[in-house]
Structure 1
């Protein structure tokens, strides 16, 4: 059943170019993805379009990380659950695209969370429908690994702030976006390098 849900979701998935074009059209139409066409979601979609354009131009994958990603010899699909208004997603998806561009065995796909509730429910984070969520699949749509919604480093910052303040507020969200800009994708790349090395360690044993 799990594989069937994944395979059906892949039939409706965007590649990165298609997802970028969707975001561009949503901005032109002053809309967002998902059923909640709120002013906040629409404004975040506009902001995220700008973030993605900037990251597309500026993100560089370090040479040693490229070597790790190029060590993947079997075909994989990197399926990302996302929505246009998701700020963490906009900071993440261009980096995942750059990683997948380093190896022709990696195929990046994007599906919208609210269009695929069954898929999302298979990959909850602490019982929540948190995005972005990366699902790494083999050539038969078997799950090899998952990642998200944030890097290990960002997750620790979020949890520390929640413990101290009881939740995340607008001030912390602004701080987190500044941190993303300063980090330049390094924390996300490091996490995925670790996953890649971990996978090959398991295979070799």
Structure 2
């Protein structure tokens, strides 16, 4: 990883929000009928409102087993989990409460959140199939070395998206409802499992 990318990640960490600040921002946006990012479309404003509700629900419902939490509690060096996100991002609303639960379980993980559209140069270093897909989790140590990358969604969900696009050409509202049903049934378990494999590879 180049020094330039290290500097951009460090800048993101310094300017990033913690989880409480992010949720507070989300609620303010909902109250004002706005969204983050350069596109203030009705759809993205509606998604922001929906995501605020989703995050409240997931915060209450997500449950992580003690033995799973111990994997993260056993991380011996301090890490910063920097997340590129936007308030309208549905996949982000599913992932960010899980990231927060894990970060809260250990003093060695600090969660920071930055907006994708405010950090295009950093985002463009971590594209998914050539697109600025989010959320994107960048895990770095105190020296600024990039340790892990996750996102924009769990592998199962990514395969669902790919299969649907292959059959129908694009993701539509029908599929988005199907994906939401999968997320609801999964309850964050797949995200946790993938992050466990990420931080403790065999």
TM-score norm. by structure 1 comes to 0.94
Secondary structure at the counterpart of residue 88 of structure 2 = coil
Q: Residue 102 of structure 1 aligns with which residue? A: 105
Q: Residue 38 of structure 1 aligns with which residue? A: 41
2:118 and 2:16 map into 1 onto residues whose CA distance is 11
Q: Over residues 131-154 of structure 1, what are the superposed CA-to-partner deviations in whole Å (9 max), with x where a residue is unaligned?
A: 000001111221101000001111
1:193 and 1:135 map into 2 onto residues whose CA distance is 15
Deviates most, 163-172 or 10-19? 163-172
Secondary structure at the counterpart of residue 9 of structure 2 = helix
Q: Residue 84 of structure 1 aligns with which residue? A: 87
Q: Over residues 122-169 of structure 1, what are the superposed CA-to-partner deviations in whole Å (9 max), with x where a residue is unaligned?
A: 111111100000001111221101000001111111112222222211
2:145 and 2:32 map into 1 onto residues whose CA distance is 37
- Please list every run of 5 or more consecutive structure 2 residues that lacks an aligned counterpart in the other structure: none
**Structure 2 residue aligned with 1:144, among 144, 147, 152?**
147
Secondary structure at the counterpart of residue 122 of structure 1 = coil
TM-score norm. by structure 2 comes to 0.96
2:160 and 2:143 map into 1 onto residues whose CA distance is 36
Secondary structure at the counterpart of residue 35 of structure 2 = coil
1:197 and 1:4 map into 2 onto residues whose CA distance is 26
Cα-Cα RMSD: 0.9
- 5 Å-filtered alignment, 1:55-94, equals 55-94=58-97
- Please list every run of 5 or more consecutive structure 1 residues that lacks an aligned counterpart in the other structure: none
- 5 Å-filtered alignment, 1:1-205, equals 1-198=4-201, 201=202
8 Å contact kept, 2:91–2:153: yes
Give the superposition deviation at 1:35.
1.3
Q: Over residues 3-62 of structure 1, what are the superposed CA-to-partner deviations in whole Å (9 max), with x where a residue is unaligned?
A: 111111222100001000000100111100011111111111000000000111111111
